[in-house]
Each structure stands twice: as C-alpha cells, then as structure tokens.
Amino acid sequence: MSTALSAVVLLAVVAVAGFLFLRRAHLLYRVVRLGKPAGRTGEVGRRARAEATIVLGQRKLLQRLGPGLMHAFIFWGFLVLFPTIVMAFLAAVDRDWTLPWLGHQGWFFLVVDVFCMLVLVGVAAGFLIRKVQRPARFEGSHLGEADLILGLIALIVTTLLLWHATQIALGLNEWPAGWSPVSNALSGLFGDGETTEALERVFVWLHVLTILGFLVYLPYSKHLHIATAGINVWFGRTRAPGRLEPLDFEVEDEASLRLGSGTLVDMTWKQMLDTMSCTECGRCQDVCPAWATGKALSPKLLIMGLRDRLFAEGPAVLAGGEPTPLVPGAVTDEVVWDCVTCGACVRECPVSIEHVDHIVDLRRQLVMAEARFPAEAEPMLRDVGRSSNPWGKAQSERASWADGLDVRVLEPGDPAPEILYWVGCAASFDERARATARATASLMLKAGLDVAILGPRESCTGDPARRMGDEYTFQTQAQKNVATLDDAGVTRVVTSCPHCFNTLGNEYPDFGGSYEVTHHSELLSELIRDGRLDPPAGTDAITYHDSCYLARHNDVLAAPREIVSRIGRPLEMARSGKRTFCCGAGGAHMWMEERGSAINEARVREAAETGAGTLAVACPFCTMMLDDGVKQSGEELRVADVAVLLAEALDRS
C-alpha cells in the first residue's frame, strides 16, 4: 500500500472512530448537563494533589497491594506507552516514519519493553483474580465486559511488541535493538523476507485498529470510567468527609427547590459523573457493614443501578421525555434505608464516588417530598422537632446527669466559659451513655478547667434527622443552636459524641456557626500529656473500637489510643482505624429496625476475638449498640467509654 493510500485509509478510519466517539461523548455530556449544580470549583491545590496521588499515584488502589499493583501496572503502562501510539499512527502511513528524537532513543524502548511486560503481568493477574480467586466483591459486576477490556489491552500491548520485533528483524528499527530485550528476543521468530514485511504491516495496523476500536467501545460500555475517573477525582469533595451538602430552602423560584433525588434530573451533575465513573471493582461492597450482614444494600450495585437508569432515560429526557422515580425504579426502598452512613464505601472507592451523598439525597426525597420512610423512625423525627431530642424527653431533664457534680449550667447573660461541654442527647438521656458525661465532666473539673454546659438550652444538633433525610428539621435545629451558642459567646466546644462533633465542626459553619470543636478523647489525651491528669499504668487487655464518625469521617485516631495505652494493654481488632467496622447506629439506624444479621453483634464478635476483657469506645451510640451486642451475642466483654476507664484509673491511684 502506497504512502498516500495508507494516509487516506488511516484518515478515514480515524474520522469514523472519532465521529462515533465524539457523538457518544457529546450525548453523555448533555446528559450530565441535565444535573443540578454542585459547588465543585476552587481549592485547585487540593484537587491537584488528589489527582496526583489518587489518579497518577494510584494511592487508593494500592491499599490492596496485589490488585492495586495489577491496576497500577496497566495504568502506568499506558501513560508510558502513549508516545508509541503516535509512532504507530505515523508508521501505519509510512514504515520509515517515527517521532523525531524519541524514536531513536534506546532508553525509551527499554522502558517500553519493561512496561509492556508489566501491563501483560497486570492483565494476567486480572484474569487470575476474576477467574480463579473470584472474590465476592465482584458479585453483580459485568465480568464479561471486564474480560473483553483486558483482552483488548493485552492485544494492544502484544501487537506493539510484535510490531517492534518485526521492525528489528527487517532492520527498520531506528534505535539500538539491544535496548529492547523482549522485542529483540521475539525478532528471532521472524526472518527478513516478504512474509515478515507483510507481518510488520499487519501488526502495526492491527495495533492501530485495536486502539481505535478501544476508543469507540469505551463510551458505549460499562467501562466508561476509563475516560471519566480522572475527571471525577478532580471534582471530588475537598471538605471534611463527614459533611453533607445543605439544601437551599430559600430559593425564590419554587420550581428550583430541590428536595434530594427523586428522578435523574434531580441529581447533581457530580452525582451523574459518579455513576459513570464506577469501576465495578466492588471495594465499596467489600467493606459495607450492611452488605456484610446480609442486607440488600451494596454501594456498588446502588451506583450501577443509578448509572443504568441514567443511560436508559437520559437520551429520552433530552428529547423531551419525562423521567421516572429513582426509587423504586433504579433502587429499592430497602436499599436506601439499609445504609448506616459509615463512609467505608467512600473511603475505599478509587475514583472518589460519594455513595453516602447519593443515599442521603434519595432519603431526602422520600422523607420530605413523599413522607415515605420506615414507620419506626417517625417518633424520632417528630421528637427532634417537638422535644428538641430524639428520645422525646423533657428538656428540663437534660442536666440531670450532672446531679452532684459542680458543673456550671450556663444561663443567659453569664460570662462565656473557657470550654462549653456539649453533652449531646444520648449522654443526656440514656443511662449507659450518662456515665460518659459524668466521667468527662469530672475529669475536666479535676484538671482545673473552666467548663460549663447549656443544660435545657442545649438542643439536638439535628444529625439523626439529617442522616434520615429530613433536611428541613436539621436546618431548623442548626439555626437554633447556632443562635444559642453565639448568644452565649461560645468559642470552644468539647463534645463526647462523634456525631455532634462532626455536625458542630463540619456542618454548622454552613449556617454561620464557626467554633473550635474538640472531641473529649482529644482533650483528655492532651491533659494527660500536659500532666494535668496522671493515671497509673495498667495491664488489663483493652481493645478499642473506632467510631466511624470519629476515625473515618474526622481523622481522630491517636487520641483515644493514647488514653487506652496509658491505662491498659491495647489490642487492635482486625478492622480498626479508618478501616473500622460500624457499630450499626449511624444513618439514624439507632431508631430503625435492622434486617438480616445484627451489625453490632458482628463487631462484638470481632472484639472478643482479640482476647481483651474490655471493649473501649469513644461514642455514646457505640456504647449503647455494642453493649446491646454483648448481651445479644453472649460474649464476655465490658463496654466502656475511654473517659469512664480513665476516671476509674485515676480513682485507683
């Protein structure tokens, strides 16, 4: 084939492939544009760091070294091999054409051979994992399409090596053959005659056509993430993981009021991009406490269901059609209510999908627009709005836990304290959690701190209502509490509840409330380091349970462990730190019935396996849930807050 004819054929093929790719890409872009606004601009430095570490560095994937290296070899390989695509396109027109300078560098072709082999190792590992190991996390994934993708990748790399081998056999290589050990070895399979000349053309054209076919296939397939994942990571959240985006109830145009995700056009454009970026790797499913205990929710299948609805209805909606409800059309009610908002899925996701935000938006629509939610949660929502706490207790009882303690109750007009102790509803009204409040307050007083509480003026932060989907009740509570705190002149808040800690510190700034918020474990460990509390060393075996809203959502890991290591002999559970396993209370599940196996019992069994006699916690909800789990499972464990254990150690000294 002459150079001119080759150029015409290549241009025609590229034009067809480019047209098919761009037509589909433009359609998907228009579908994403249907989504509601999402504030994901600014903070370029953080976004660039995420791109460098998560995308280029493959940081999240490498948390699982074996599968991570498999994917990294393939990803890094294609980055390194990109110039060879240009070289192949040039050589398809004229076999003597190549890139200036780079096409003559032996070191570059050594790198090419090395990364070709690494890609093939990655492909082989991928097939081994999917066909031999067959981990449960792939349940529900499109494995057939994954096999096709791996096959195409292997074909691209193999044809590249064989093309280079025939070039060397024919003496067409512009680089020293010794720098290409793999291609040079393969060149021995070929002679220098007409057959090899024909094979050289076959391999370079097959290489080019496979690349173009791969390009066309991607936007039509379930593996669109190859094109969108990097974009999704760039627009990932840059603020605290535990924060939810507020809804705007003050819009002038009622038609613009958004009450979560009812149909696909109610989703934000970032949520739509999330669905297109799912790799179906199942890492989220693998760590989900709901899925692990036999419930319907799989974060992976949730996102896949939303993506399928987006692909199915998006073009029709663009043409003027009406979208249908996401629940139960794309996602069942059961799936929506199974989530404990622990965030394990979000942390594991290698492409920055925000599963919890999707679920909360689905709940918002069901609760606020349709009044459709589990019946057993109705009293909690009613009591938060009516009684200012989810237990429905009288506010006059809020400070009764402090009877006998010299704790100042802050009255209107009183001078602001050094520290306001935000007790929280659980520690105010539940007998087991009250022990934490008493211990925390007594320790702060023992250390000589100026501390006060709001007593009846303290109101539920609104966290359980918000996670349940009742954003309106949450915002009402937030505005009321911010007004109270500001009126009292409060600047520093200490709280024992990780949910209050997260809401006050990460979500109240959206409503004008900016305070220095400290978890009680952080304050107590600081007082120990400063010598203001000096407990004796202990030898009892203690295993510490990380609260999801403390460790994973807010990076508080060291402080409670410092307390445990000071008063006992710490033993870590198999899942700890940011990979902790939920107690089962989050996402308003404290007030919902649980289907399937109990999450709290699963966690208690894991704690018992350490051989510890004490299960330390730093959250009142964890105290209640794990204490119930101990009773239900029959394990011999004592559940106690780190503050309680510290106070007891000091009493013994």
User: What was the pLDDT predicted at 150?
Assistant: 95
Give the contacts of 388 (CB within 8 A, at least 6 positions apart): 395, 459, 460, 477
| pLDDT mean for each 10 residues of the chain (653 residues) | 91 97 97 94 94 96 91 95 97 96 97 98 95 93 92 97 98 96 97 94 98 95 92 95 94 82 97 97 97 97 97 96 96 97 97 98 97 96 95 95 94 95 97 96 97 97 98 98 97 98 98 97 98 95 98 98 98 97 97 94 98 98 97 96 98 86
Q: What are phi and psi of 482, to 5 degrees?
A: -60, -40
The two three-digit tokens of residue 58, written as one number? 């493959």
Alpha carbon of residue 257 to chain centroid: 27
How far is 318 from 108, CA to CA, in rounded Å?
A: 47
User: What was the pLDDT predicted at 415?
Assistant: 95
Classify domain 3-33+64-223 by CATH architecture: Up-down Bundle (1.20)
3-class secondary-structure state, position 53: helix
State whether the Cα torsion 568-569-575-576 is positive or negative: positive
- Could you count the other beta carbons within 10 Å of the beta carbon of residue 273? 24
Helix (H) or strand (E) holding 628: helix 620-633
3-class secondary-structure state, position 556: coil
How far is 516 from 90, CA to CA, in rounded Å?
A: 61
Upper half-sphere CA count for residue 651 (Cβ side, 13 Å): 9
**The pairing of beta strand 492-495 with beta strand 451-453:** unpaired
How far is 192 from 197, CA to CA, in rounded Å?
A: 7
Which residue's structure tokens are 């050094």? 418
The two three-digit tokens of residue 94, written as one number? 């004229």
Which residue's structure tokens are 């006998």? 404
What is each CA distance from 562 to 85, 218, 324, 545, in whole angstroms? 54, 50, 52, 13
Three-state SS sequence of 54-110: HHHCCCCHHHCHHHHHHHHHHHHHHHHHHHHHHHHHHHHHCCCCCCCCHHHCHHHHH
In CATH, the number for domain 254-375 is 1.10.1060
Q: Which of 159, 3, 179 is nearest to 84 (CA)?
A: 159
Q: Which of 257, 296, 299 is nearest to 282 (CA)?
A: 299
How far is 283 from 278, CA to CA, in rounded Å?
A: 11
Q: CA 242, 272, 324 angle in degrees (round to 5)? A: 110
Is 553:535 a contact under the CB 8 Å cutoff? Answer: no
Q: What are phi and psi of 624, to 5 degrees?
A: -70, -45
Predicted model pTM: 0.95
Which residue's structure tokens are 């309680």? 644
- Could you count the other beta carbons within 10 Å of the beta carbon of residue 52? 12
User: What was the pLDDT predicted at 39?
Assistant: 87
- Could you count the other beta carbons within 10 Å of the beta carbon of residue 76? 18
Is 622:583 a contact under the CB 8 Å cutoff? Answer: yes
The two three-digit tokens of residue 534, written as one number? 């000096």
The two three-digit tokens of residue 149, written as one number? 């993708």
Helix axes 194-217, 65-93, angle to 10 degrees: 120
Instruction: Please state the domain extents for the chain.
Output: 3-33+64-223, 254-375, 387-653
Give the contacts of 154 (CB within 8 A, at least 6 positions apart): 119, 120, 123
Helix axes 65-93, 143-170, angle to 10 degrees: 50
The two three-digit tokens of residue 391, written as one number? 């237990």
How far is 271 from 236, CA to CA, in rounded Å?
A: 10
User: What was the pLDDT predicted at 1?
Assistant: 67
**The pairing of beta strand 492-495 with beta strand 516-519:** parallel
The two three-digit tokens of residue 459, written as one number? 């109101």
DSSP 8-state symbol, 410: P
